[in-house]
Amino acid sequence: MEKKLRELLENAKTEIDLADSMDILESTRVKYLGKKGELTQILRGMGSLSPEERPVVGKVANEVRETIQVLIENAKAAIRDRALERQLESEVIDITMPGKEIELGNKHPLTQSFDELKNIFIGMGFKIAEGPEVETVYYNFDALNAPANHPSRDMSDTFYINDDIVLRTQTSPVQVRAMEKMKPPIRIISPGRCFRNDTPDATHSPMFHQLEGLVIDKGITLGDLKGTLEVFVKAFLGENTKIKFRPHYFPFTEPSAEVDASCFKCGGVGCNFCKGSGWIELLGAGMVHPNVLRNGGIDPEEYGGFAFGMGIDRLTMLKYGIDDIRLFFENDMRFLKQF
């Protein structure tokens, strides 16, 4: 019996040596050590042994069992190690390889313009005020002294949400909102989005951007307006830029003007850019109408002021030589990355 056991051990050793997978090792274990395995078969014959032989054979049987168990465990561990090694080899990271470049975006050209304009006006002591893009008819038209039959109120020019609410057509409603909230002296600019019912083309977009300016204090004159705009224009378009006032009409300012800047491409001689005139239309401005002051809760006998409003899309187009306003809103990286 002892001999049988030693043979069994030898056979098991050979099989374990040859085994190259977990599955094979497991079936080898079952084959030799399992409940119906070969070792059990042999041990069934123990009954026929003499009482002296029994402990001797039992000891050998235990040794064989333990040896086989250890051999199988070792072989399994070796297979696991090899699998891990292979995995590690296949997952090696080459830390000398160049990394993936992270593409950084840049500020939208309109945002760049706004940033620059804000810096200039903050430098002159202005604060930034904001108003809602969805605005009441009251602030967008009535409070701004717009006559009931003013053409800009028309459905074809203004997006109406309902009879009383519109998408603001200008940043000017912020004027009265600011007057209601603040006490003079008031010095604010208000950048933001505006909307008009325009069919998009190279120079029109139903969504566009304006920057409003408002100053209210005692003794404000047209000279203050001119001086302020002159400082602004020189900072934004260049030291040598001149401005010119053309009489105009706005319901909320009196007198009103359209302000032109000398062409910053040709310096005023005339070129393609300014269509030969030497001047570029820049903004609308004027002295705040007494009715608007009253609507803002400010006594026009005591205070006066000026306001101005400019289209930022057009200004940015002029500055960078962009020939189609729609490019601003198409989110084409090839366009946006140029600025």
Using CB under 6 A, list all residues that contact ligand PHE.
170, 172, 212, 250, 253, 256, 284-286, 307-309
Please choose, from the candidates 205, 208, 148, 216, the residue with its C-alpha nearest in 3D space to the C-alpha of residue 176: 216
In the bound complex, what is the minimum distance in angstroms from residue 213's beta carbon to ligand PHE? 7
| Rounded distance between C-alpha atoms, residue 44 and residue 31, angstroms | 16
Please report how close the Cβ of residue 144 comes to ligand PHE at its closest, in angstroms: 8
Give which of 78, 60, 63 is closest to 16, Cα–Cα.
Answer: 78
Q: What are the strands, taking DSSP E only, across 37-144?
A: 127-128, 134-136
Closer to ligand PHE at the Cβ: 21 or 203? 203
140: nearest Cα among 117, 121, 156, 163: 163
Q: Which residue is nearest to ligand PHE (CB)?
A: 309
Nearer to ligand PHE, 19 or 257 (CB): 257
Q: Give backbone dihedrals phi and psi of 216, rounded to 5 degrees, phi first.
A: -130, 125
Of 139 and 250, which has the nearer Cβ to ligand PHE?
250
Residue with smaller CB distance to ligand PHE, 5 or 216: 216
- The residue (of 5 and 225) whose beta carbon lies closer to ligand PHE is 225
Within 10 A of 290 (CB to CB), how many other CB atoms are there?
A: 16
CB of 172 to ligand PHE, least distance (A): 4
Q: Are 5 and 60 in contact (CB under 8 A)?
A: yes
Q: Which residue, 32 or 250, is less far from ligand PHE as judged by CB? A: 250
Nearer to ligand PHE, 33 or 222 (CB): 222
- Could you tell me the smallest distance in angstroms from the CB atom of residue 269 to ligand PHE? 28
Q: Identify which of residues 257 and 263 has a Cβ nearer to ligand PHE in the complex.
A: 257
> Would you tell me how many other CB atoms lie within 10 Å of the CB of residue 122?
12
Residue nearer to ligand PHE on the CB measure, 286 or 296: 286
Greatest extent of the chain over all pairs of C-alpha atoms, in Å: 132
Q: How far is the CB of 256 from ligand PHE (least distance, A)?
A: 6
R_g over Cα of the chain: 44
Residue 252 CB, nearest approach to ligand PHE (Å) = 6
Closest separation between CB of residue 289 and ligand PHE, Å? 10
The DSSP H or E segment spanning 82 is helix 53-90
Number of H helices, E strands in the chain: 11, 9
Is the dihedral angle over the CA atoms 53, 56, 58, 61 positive or is it negative?
Answer: negative
**Smallest gap, in angstroms, from Cβ of residue 158 to ligand PHE?**
12
Q: How far is the CB of 308 from ligand PHE (least distance, A)?
A: 5
Burial class (CB in 10 A: 0-12, 13-18, 19+), 72: buried
Tell me which residue has tokens 């465990």: 73
Six token digits for residue 240 = 């040598």
C-alpha 65/C-alpha 61 separation (Å) is 6
Q: Is the dihedral of CA 190, 192, 197, 203 positive or negative?
A: positive
